[in-house]
A and B are shown apart, each in its own frame.
Chain A
């Protein structure tokens, strides 16, 4: 009797085992995949999953520097960024990118950090940090213009004084085509878009690019 029960259980177990394996294989697209192909498929899934993970950015001006951490003043308040041996550092200046390191960062540098944020502490562990002078992107109506310095009233209402004299590019559009513009084109009443930065020596806004908007 014991032998019969054992034989019965063994048969049922074998059928269950092979039946489930068959179902598992048929339910995946790689039913005929080799073990290495299967491993490759799993790796691709993991990579795709990690690519989907939302990445956060913190941007602002460096307030304090620790041994491996940075506190920045951002528009949303102070943010703490941790760096590790895996963090890559870059500096972007005049259109050129150079690799740098933590020790070359300075208080006052504008930076953007990309990484994962701990929801409990709101601190970021950065995998990439780019130090670059922040550029303001302003669009509005020119209220006054004097010797290349314009007063631009944004559509939001704020007014900025911007020096256009050092602008590398001045443009205007006709329809959807852009062409070269000159300083006299930036006159009161016209709409202008200006890419500018805070000049560290004069603490005023200096334009890199400015465009007269015709519509």
Chain B
């Protein structure tokens, strides 16, 4: 009823029936095009914007070579050699033998962590400004792991 009134009102503004139908057809075609665009954008993966790819180059870690009797495994997670950070607290985590003691030494700080039942460990190490050389070694029952050595630079925040 209301739309009929509107059509009547438009008609009174000078538009005849054919013009109104043309406008309505135009609106319907426009709606179909919009719907088509929306459907294509959402359902066709090629049209979706891809998230930016960030390539982080990781230099090969410098590790000490194994010597006789050094049998403990040791891996570090997310600690990149020759990397930089803005945080003076560096989280060092990784995996080794169950129950092993992990000694972490930095330029000004040292920490001892214990590996849990799954061999996981984690700890925080304080960094000083500029370059920091960090070593991580695991010990258990008279055995030790390779020493993993990493250089991490603390950016100075002026």
Contacts and interface: CB of A to CB of B under 8 A. Distances in A.
Contact of A7 (B26, B135, B156): B26
A195 B105 contact: yes
Interface string B50-83: 0010111101001011110010000000000011
A39 interface: no
Interface stretch (B2-10, B28-36, B89-97): B28-36
Interface residues of B, number: 58
A20 to B, nearest CB: 6
A47 interface: no
Chain B contact surface mostly: mixed
B107 interface: yes
Nearest to B38: A23
B116 interface: no
B26 A215 contact: no
Contacts of A97: 129, 156
Interface in B112-155: 112, 114, 128-131, 133-135, 137, 139-140, 144, 146-147, 149, 151, 153, 155
A166 interface: no
A198 interface: no
Given A7-B22, A52-B54, A193-B105, A155 B67 contact: yes
B151 A139 contact: no
A139 B70 CA distance: 14
A75 to B, nearest CB: 8
Contacts of A12: 26-27, 29-30, 33
B131 A15 contact: no
A95 interface: yes
Contacts of B66: 155
B23 to A, nearest CB: 5
A52 B54 CA distance: 8
Given A11-B23, A12-B29, A12-B33, A132 B110 contact: no
Given A90-B130, A92-B129, 15 more contacts: A3-B19, A15-B30, A49-B52, A54-B56, A55-B83, A59-B82, A95-B128, A128-B156, A130-B156, A132-B129, A136-B133, A137-B149, A138-B135, A193-B135, A213-B103
